[in-house]
Amino acid sequence: MKILVVDDHVLVREGLCQVLQGIHPGEATEVLQAATCSRAFELAHFNPDLDLVLLDYRLPDMSGLTALEIFGQRHPELPVVILSGSANPSVIQQARDLGAAGFVTKSSLSDTMLTILRKILAGETYHPSNFSPLGEEIYGAHIKTSAPPVLSPRQQDVLGLLLSGLTNRQISEQLSMGAETVKFHVSNILRIFGTSTRTQAVLAAKRWGYDQLSSRSP
């Protein structure tokens, strides 16, 4: 498991690093740190096996929401969680619209944060309880019409594992497929569903009933 924490406060980053060690007990978790968005983009570029990004809303060189949009463009398969000091409804809505996999306040208890992040890594989404679940909304995907999007057999293999909550690295191992090939298939799946992020594609696939289909054998 490899997670990138983006926050300009050293104590916050170090605290999150400690908390994240408990995300999967018994499994090593590597936590990369960045104090600026530019450094975060650099780390994401050189670490294609990243599983998750925790991104502060307020950063010195760029708004967290602007950075979220850039992450979505450059790494659409990578789930990004916005961290904020408060649950501002306007910010939450903007984060949702830009494809954030979740929105978590820094005041959250460690156990609560870990529970939320585990759900996100499993392909779910999370936003404060005063907002409806993202799965109940169109959230950037095509509105359902008469026929479901058509995927190739290999794309169905990858989608089935995405729906099971597997990371790109796990999909690569499961299907004996190179990391870049997995990213290529994930990007095509996003395009086919008319979505801009991995989270949106999973939600769109569930609306089409792909989660009810049996996974093909690799």
Tell whether the model's pLDDT for residue 132 goes beyond 50: no
Contacts of residue 203, defined as CB under 8 A and 6 or more positions apart, other chains included, come to: 125, 134, 135, 139, 141
**Amino acid type, 50:** L
Higher local confidence (pLDDT), 191 or 47: 47
Please report, rounded to a whole number, the percentage of residues in the chain having pLDDT higher than 70: 88
**Higher per-residue pLDDT: 212 or 62:** 62
CA 172-141-150 angle, to 5 degrees, is 60
pTM for the model stands at 0.64
31: confidence class by pLDDT, cuts 50, 70, 90: very high
Q: Over the stretch 151-185, which tens digit does the pLDDT of each residue have? A: 888 888 899 898 888 888 899 999 998 888 888 88
Q: What is the mean pLDDT of residues 41-69?
A: 93
Q: In the prediction, which pLDDT does 218 show?
A: 41
Among 21-30, 77-86, 148-157, the minimum mean pLDDT is found in 148-157
Question: Over 60: is that where the pLDDT of 40 sits?
Answer: yes
pLDDT value at 61 more than 60? yes
pLDDT band (50, 70, 90) for residue 36: very high
Residue 148 banded pLDDT, cuts 50, 70, 90: low
Of 158, 114, 142, 122, give the one whose Cα is nearest residue 208.
Answer: 142
Question: How do residues 11-24 score in pLDDT, each as one tens digit?
Answer: 999 999 999 999 98
Calculate the alpha carbon distances from 189 to 37, 140, 141, 155, 196 in Å.
Answer: 27, 14, 12, 7, 10
DSSP bridge pairs for 82: 55, 103
Confidence of residue 147 (pLDDT cuts 50, 70, 90): low
Instruction: Dihedral sign for Cα 19, 21, 23, 25, please.
Output: negative
All structural domains of the chain, each given as residue ranges with its CATH number in brackets, are: 2-131 (3.40.50.2300), 153-212 (1.10.10.10)
The rounded percent of the chain whose pLDDT value lies above 90 is 37
Residue among 39, 28, 25 at smallest CA distance from 1: 28
The larger pLDDT score, comparing residue 102 to residue 26, is at 102
Q: Report d(CA 101, CA 122) in Å as an integer.
A: 11
Q: Does pLDDT of 136 surpass 60?
A: no
* Per-residue confidence (pLDDT) for residue 146, from 0 to 100: 44
pLDDT at 138 over 60: no
